[in-house]
A and B are shown apart, each in its own frame.
Chain A
Amino acid sequence: MKKQKSIKSKRFNYLKSICLSSCLLCFAGEAAANFTENYSTQVYFTVKMNNKTVRDVFSHIEKNSEFIFIYQGTKIDLDRKVSINLSDQPVQAILHEVFAGTNETYTIKGRQIIVKKAPAKENTEVLNSNQQKKTVAGLLTDADGNPVIGATVTIKGTTHGVTTDIDGKYILNNVNEGDVIEFRYIGFNTEEKTYKGEASINIRMMEASVGLEDVVVIGYGQQKKESVVSSLNTIGPAELNVKQRNLRNTLAGQIAGVIAVQRSGEPGNDAAAFYIRGQSSYAGGTSALVLVDGVPRSMDDIDVDEIESFTVLKDAAATAVYGAEGANGVVLITSKRGKAQKTSVNFSAQYSIVTPTRMPETLNSYDYLSLYNEALWNDQGNPNKEYFNPQYTDETLEKYRTGIDRDLYPSVNWYDLLQNHTQSQRYTVNFRGGSEKVRFFASGAYYSEDGIFDSTPKEDYNANIGLQRFNLRSNVDMDLTKTTQLSIDMSGQYLKKNQPGYTSDEIFNYISHFPVHVIPMYYSDGTASDHGAPGWGVEYQPYNMLNNSGYNKTWSAFLQTKVTLKQDLKFITEGLSVKGSVSFDADFYSTMKRSKTPQTFYALGRNEDGSLDKKTIKESSALGNPAISGRDGTKKIYLEASLDYQRSFNKVHDVTGMVLYMQKETQYQNKDGLQLLPYRKQSVVARATYGYDDRYMLEASMGMTGSENFAQGHRWGIFPAVGAAWFVSHEKFMRGVEDYISKLKLRVSYGITGNDNIGEDTRFPYRENINTGLNSYSFGLTPGANGGKGNSPGNGIAEGSFAMPNLSWEIEKKLNTGIDLGLFRGRVDFSADYFYNRRSDILLQRETVSNVSGLRVKPYQNFGIVRNQGVDANLIVKQKVGNVDLSARGNLTYAKNKILERDEIPQKYDYQTYTGNSIDKPLLYIAEGLYTPDDFNITTNEYGGQTYKLKDGLPTPAANVAPGDIKYKDLNNDGVIDSYDRTYDHKYYQATPEIVYGFGVNAEWKGFFVGVFFQGTAHTSANMLANNYALLPFTQGVDNGSGRTEISDRWLAENPYNQDVFFPRLHTSNFSHNTEKSTWWHRNAGFLRLKNIEIGYQFNDKILKQLRMKNLRVYLQGNNVAVWDNIKFWDPELGSANSGAKYPICSTYSLGLEVTF
């Protein structure tokens, strides 16, 4: 909140503090002032007090009503003795008595009684001497036309003002022409109007630049937005309006600094990879610390409607308080809380249709088998066709083509097991309200989603994939005393999942590669079919997996509780408070499985009577009894205690301080060995800030973390950070340009953060360990029919890891500089940050230890340095054109890392040195195209079959190559293509994008609104051949796979010079020369996606009043509507994605409704 030093009015200060404190309590800037104006006329008191202090009287009133007293200024004499004897009188009567004959006076606002000195004389005179002044009335609305309640309307430079009522209306009297009327409300830009004698002035208030909040959430606390020196971004519910099940997938492209890519579309397993400002370690952890309401919790299953704000902390000044956990950035999610207001009920419903964006297609059996003949023909050197003996004769192929007998010559499209669309539904209802003393937020949500499979089980059970989720939350804040606040938060998520005997990813995997020509889905006589030789990759048959394998039911319950007690310690000194929190979370899941195997057959041919000659492949087992197929449980205990100090001195010195202690523990139920022990951490945190005149801000913070994963004496580390900001636009010299540059702030911070996350599997890496579970070896043998090996001394014992007592966490130094810029009174809001992070002491297992040493576990060491630098930026523009409100927003994140030091010795060729490259940059052969017949000395045999010998001077690869095979570049010019010809020096990137961006436009006209949002990535690459088997036919033999329709884009012997193809020469087996990681198969995986498009209507006040609603909104929303990319075969966001054999990403079209009562 911007301070107007010119204002001297105490009344105004009071209003400001009301607003500010309500914001602090509610974490939001929405209307806090839904006052029940006539409360004072509802309560009556009987006061019989003799010679008591004023304090006693007030305390009596407080005890017997919901009134609270607020004292303006320090000179109120509460110890003055009074005597009162009144029965059944309104509070005014009592107060009149109390203040009679003093220069103190009071005002009643709802349940608040403000006590203050009477206005100074000259003011009274002014008021009295201007009886001819005019009265102005009006309405304050926000951009959406909603009334702005509780806003202040004052005459600039005076204390004279009013607040708007529940309808956003105000009446201000005693206005002179020429007066400047100021309209202020938290979260909105202050508007000024020079009064020209109008009877009414209606103002549409513009929301303040970013978000609604003037207070932002920071690590272990909140801070005035203007005081922030660190780099953080917050989005609120407005930006989170895409209501998908998983929050992470909604965030991509929404927040500067977040790099999120969704690598699967499978319901329940579709969480996006999520990094803050990219990765800065190639060994240890890179995932951000996620805190929900201050407690480490998963963000995956929170309903969007429960969320008040989503904040990303990016630089050291913001994250150093998290000590050894801060290096990867921190995500803070706060849930909505109650407000002192008439209870509002919010209901929303959404129905969505979900459709895969791109679905793979397989060749039919005729095309696939013809393709195999072609591959065979290729392998034989393309002899003259009359001498070529195809494995599948024309006669056989014809049977496949005509479908004359689909039992023996099937052509199955296994994708028929999928539905074209699925649907999801989402309903939420929440209640928000409370009195001055008790405030609550309660919400419930239901979400359901169907799986994509078209399951028709053979027995009477449900094997369809389905997910249902129920969310419940209740956040209650209670003022136990005027200075004590107790908060009780409880939330829970309950998930039910139903699925066939296999996971959808497994089924999808088999659907995408199961051969199309071997068996039908089931035989025409109704019996279950199975691959005749159920070997690798064809052990399961998709139709049976889906319909004939029983089912799984999983229920998961996640429960979160938290109790916080906050005590204001102003009796010790103003601005001091203490807070303690205890949180207990418990998560469980359990999967019940009923398995079943059908008796399956493989048809060898037809008997003479025409029936199928079948052999049994699998014996059947009936639908089994329920059995456990998986379960786990987790408990988390979190304790926090803190001492806070916050005070302004002389209105120019803002000081805050915080000391905090935290400890937490996570423990799993169903793990092995050391992982059963609790995971613990302790921290002591301190922070101090100083702001001068809202122009200069300084901040210093420190996190001291102890981690149980290291040896005693190496557990504790201190992570300090400092930051400073200069609010240039608050300087005097900036006066006069406020209309153009309304905000200009420069920030810089530097600090040290840490990372001790080396994966949950590695516990106590400093400890020596003996491996007692090695294979046992049998010394003896009993030969013969019932014999076997024997006489084993038991499981083998050998060394495990070695004692490494000096291990410690990774250290990341972070430098951040940023600028916040607001132009044209908030119409343009821009902020940009440059960051430079350097991670050192990366905790890794030594890599240059020769295996000759015989060490079974590579020793751990703190080794390695990575630099990560980049920019992130955010822009919002708002403009009104005629009746249309337009707003546009965009953000960009660019994070480029570089390995500076790694346990690597100088390589024979510089281009093979990983050090100096980005993390996970692939080492590739450079494909120079395909070999052509010109590259070979060709000998032709009597049948026309050709053999190829590379011409002299051409580098020789390990394989016997032929035209159409990939030609690699001989980088070291040694005449041989071998592993020394792989390089990091090429144009492709790692899988994690370096650039993520998003931009969108919203328009609103008379309640109609339209929005589009685009999202994209760049500087990312995908290996199209991540899984040979999924993309290339015949790599596991003709009967163990299928072919994709894209294969039509291939090299052909008939046109041997054509290089412009995707697939090189076909082979009948896995020809590893062509499947090496090379530039041939790599593609730029960047994309631009029309992520979201929305059309809706917001009903206007008139209708709402008739409907007795506060808000009613209907909308149609499309998600993942279109995408532009280079991958084409599958959704580019999947990246390498098992070469497309992955549950597809879906587009969603939703119809939704939101109502508030």
Chain B
Amino acid sequence: MKFLNKITSIASACFLTLALTGCSDYLDVSDEVAENLTLDEVFDNPNYMRRWHGNLFNSISEYSSIGKNKANGFSGVWVSMCGETTLSGVGMSEMISGFTSANAPFQQRWKDLYQYIRDANIFLERVNPKGNINDQYQLTEADVKRMKAEAKYLIAYSYFSLFELYGPVPILDELADPEDKGLDYARASVDETVEYIDNLLKEVIESGDLPESIIQNHSATGNDRYNLNEIVRPTVTAAKALRAKLWVYAASPLFNGGYKETLDVANTDGKKIFASYDANRWLTAKSRLEDLLNNAEQNKHTLFTVYNTDGTINPDESVYQLFQNYNDEILWATGDNLWNGSTMEQNTNPRDCYTGWGYLGVSQNLVDAFFVKDGLTIDDPNSMYKEDGFTDVVNPCNESKRVDTNVFNMYANREPRFYAGVGYEGKSWHIQPIGRPDYTIGFAKGEGCDNSSADNPRTGYLPTKFKNRQILFTGNYLKAWARPSILFRLADFYLYYAEVCNEIDPNDPNIIKYLDMVRQRAGIPGYKELAASGKKNIIGNQELQRKMIQRERTVELFMEGQHYFDIRRWMICGEGEEADQSVLHSMNMNGYKDQPIGANNSFFTRIVLENRAWRRAMYLYPIPQDEIQKSRLLVQNPLW
């Protein structure tokens, strides 16, 4: 029985030990990570504060990713959504089969921007100077001031990014408390939204905490001229530009009483969140723009222009090199550009020219928007435009300015921006593939970029804007070229200024002055010249001037991410209107190039590529339906 007793005592001892010791700390597993980072610790450490600050810049929308590689609301999906370009295979299926508020694509802006706004507000509340001179991450008083101004700028920018897509949105004046059971927010009105952003920017500008410009060496040229290490950090100019852009939007028809259906939109408490037309908004926009233009002039911003040795403008090089290096036209840019690597270059490279997917296409609608070299539109009876035959066309993008023979004359005599922006049937490549000096791009059946592969542009065009002409995906040729992705540039704001002046007083000479500055750089006659030559006179005619300003923006800012928002704020998307979104035309890629122009089986026939499911509701993007469904206060945009 001894043995038995032993066992019994061992067992009971075990039992007791387990029961007693176990309960005390066995479950304190998480103590092991008790020293994990807390919010207080983040804001006690200069490096962590810098990383928090750096994260806020992820709120920036950047439009260089036009394909499928980065398809979200912060990228170039809007370029395809508005039919400037198309995608391979399924195309922009969202616009073909339409969408509802529940399955609307690219809704990242809504959720993510509010997160960045919260992050920025926490930053403003807590950031403080830290570290001493020996600390490489030291945050000085001045650093903190600048970073705070930047955080405010990014809050303003985030609200603007919401505003341009959704219209007026909820404004948060205090940090949400996660323990709060409510956490529900109503939309502010257009006026409140605009005013909030405007005040924030005013504060930023007046604080004096932002640098005026990133020019670091006024006497230098090229990259040395700028502090490119910080190109994305906003300047006073950038803040003024954003402020001006904000008011142009606020004054535009979409937000200024032009969208009748919005006038009834009211919050649950009855408050109307849109307002009827107010001409003063145009005046404010004008003064904000003038403030910017003065500032830009002071900081030596000019339209980027390349001159020939004889002092004349070289428009072909101007509109090409503008996007290849940093320059004085840029008001704000980021280094985060999908064209920097091979991605976008290959997406737009012909399949039969070494490595290329060639799946982005330019719509016929946009091809037709480009001017003729005489400065007229293609439908102008006075223009030299024809589409009835074939002819020789000099390719200004080609390294040896090759004369391409037998080119459809639709592509002859067009403006430099067309040649820089569009690759068309029969156009030589900028560097001819080795051993193929007569290589031209072909989209018709049986040619190198035809629709025998799913990766084809579907429209009969490849975009060539932004492409670096030294790149060829073979041998020792350049494979990548890093370039800034431009967020704001002067030409954009010149055109805003022309537009705003026209809405206030059609006889304002600044309208034609600024419009013509952009045209001149692009190598086409200005309206002053056209009027003088008697070919076309729009001067003083508000309606015509408005149309031509719109057309100029369409061409000048092609693929730069602005068109989607422009045509909406102008409200010209309807069937038969200027930027008809219901139909997308192209060349006939099921046709052959040896068939007569316009024939059913000819490549050179305009066809309807996509009947797009445009609806008036799409003037404002739908607020994500699941947000509406989990909120008592949030109201949806009209017609959704």
- Chain A residues close to B by CB (< 8 Å): 376, 387, 389-391, 480-481, 483-484, 532-533, 535-536, 565, 567, 569, 571, 578-580, 639, 641-643, 661, 663, 674, 677-682, 684, 706-708, 712, 715, 763-764, 767-770, 772, 774-799, 802, 804, 846-856, 859, 904-905, 907-908, 912, 943, 947, 957-960, 978-979, 982, 1035-1040, 1069-1074, 1076
Contacts and interface: CB of A to CB of B under 8 A. Distances in A.
A680 B26 contact: yes
A770 B102 CA distance: 31
Contacts of B341: 788
Which 9 pairs show the lowest CB-CB distances between chains A and B?
Answer: A781-B335, A796-B55, A1037-B89, A854-B118, A958-B98, A979-B102, A787-B482, A1039-B454, A793-B54
B185 A850 contact: yes
B22 A661 contact: yes
B231 A780 contact: yes
Given A533-B454, A712-B28, A978-B100, A792 B336 contact: no
Contact of A777 (B27, B58, B103, B611): B58
Given A853-B185, A905-B632, A1069 B54 contact: no
B81 to A, nearest CB: 14
A799 B340 contact: no
A1076 B451 CA distance: 28
B23 A979 contact: no
A1143 B339 CA distance: 41
- Among A567, A854, A907, A958, chain B packs the most CB atoms within 10 A around the CB of A854
A905 B96 contact: no
B634 interface: yes
B114 A853 contact: yes
Interface string B328-353: 00000111110011000000000100
Given A387-B600, A978-B101, A1072-B99, A682 B23 contact: yes
A850 B7 CA distance: 62
B27 A708 contact: yes
- Among B1, B3, B90, B611, chain A packs the most CB atoms within 10 A around the CB of B90
Contacts of A794: 47, 50-51, 54
B32 to A, nearest CB: 6
Given A780-B229, A784-B482, A796-B55, A674 B33 contact: yes
B4 A481 contact: yes
A480 B8 CA distance: 13
A1037 B456 CA distance: 10
A583 B14 CA distance: 14
A851 B114 contact: yes
B185 A852 contact: yes
Given A767-B30, A798-B119, A783 B54 contact: no
A1074 B96 CA distance: 12
Contacts of B32: 677
A708 B30 contact: yes
B482 A783 contact: yes
Nearest to A641: B15
B569 interface: no
A960 B630 contact: no
Given A767-B36, A768-B39, A781-B482, A580 B4 contact: no
Interface in B472-502: 478, 480-484
Contacts of B23: 682, 706
16 contacts: A536-B68, A641-B15, A682-B26, A783-B482, A785-B481, A786-B482, A789-B340, A790-B335, A797-B48, A855-B115, A855-B176, A905-B629, A958-B98, A958-B613, A959-B97, A1070-B97
- Among B54, B110, B169, B625, chain A packs the most CB atoms within 10 A around the CB of B54
Contact of B55 (A639, A791, A797): A797
Contacts of B91: 1069
Contacts of B230: 779-780, 791
Contacts of B19: 641, 661, 684
- Among A565, A642, A791, chain B packs the most CB atoms within 10 A around the CB of A791
Nearest to A777: B57
Contacts of A763: 30
A900 to B, nearest CB: 18
A531 to B, nearest CB: 9
Contacts of B11: 565, 567, 578-580, 641
A979 B100 contact: yes
Contacts of A1038: 454
Contacts of A776: 51, 54-55
B47 A789 contact: no
B212 interface: no
Interface string B213-239: 000000000010000111111000000
A793 B53 contact: yes
Interface of B: 1, 3-4, 7-8, 11-12, 14-15, 18-19, 22-23, 26-30, 32-33, 36-39, 42, 47-48, 50-55, 57-58, 68, 88-91, 93-94, 96-103, 110-111, 114-119, 122, 169-170, 172, 176, 178-179, 183-185, 223, 228-233, 324-326, 333-337, 340-341, 351, 357, 359, 451, 453-455, 470, 478, 480-484, 588, 590-591, 600-601, 611-613, 615, 624-625, 627, 629-632, 634, 640
B208 to A, nearest CB: 21
A937 B326 CA distance: 55
Nearest to B121: A854
Contact of B170 (A788, A797, A852): A852
Contacts of B114: 851-854
Given A532-B453, A978-B640, A682 B39 contact: no
A960 B98 contact: yes
A375 to B, nearest CB: 12
Given A580-B15, A677-B33, A905-B632, A854 B26 contact: no
A781 B29 contact: no
B100 A578 contact: no
A535 B455 contact: yes
B612 to A, nearest CB: 8
A778 B335 contact: yes
A1076 B8 CA distance: 68
A789 B51 contact: no
A294 B214 CA distance: 70
A788 B231 CA distance: 13
B483 A783 contact: yes
A777 B97 contact: no
Contacts of A643: 15
A250 B48 CA distance: 55
A569 B229 contact: no
A963 to B, nearest CB: 15
Contacts of A1039: 89, 453-455
B99 A958 contact: yes
A850 B229 contact: no
A567 B600 CA distance: 95
A578 B232 CA distance: 73
B183 A849 contact: yes
- Among B169, B333, B336, chain A packs the most CB atoms within 10 A around the CB of B336
B603 to A, nearest CB: 10
A959 B54 contact: no
Given A536-B68, A682-B23, A789-B335, A708 B99 contact: no
B22 A663 contact: yes
A782 B118 contact: no
B250 to A, nearest CB: 21
- Among A794, A804, A847, chain B packs the most CB atoms within 10 A around the CB of A794
A706 B23 CA distance: 8
Contacts of A851: 110-111, 114, 624, 627
A1036 B98 CA distance: 17
Nearest to B68: A536
Nearest to A976: B639
A438 to B, nearest CB: 17
Contact of B18 (A387, A639, A1074): A639
B468 to A, nearest CB: 9
Contact of B451 (A391, A774, A793, A982): A391
Contacts of A1070: 90, 93, 97
Given A779-B230, A978-B101, A1072-B93, A567 B4 contact: yes
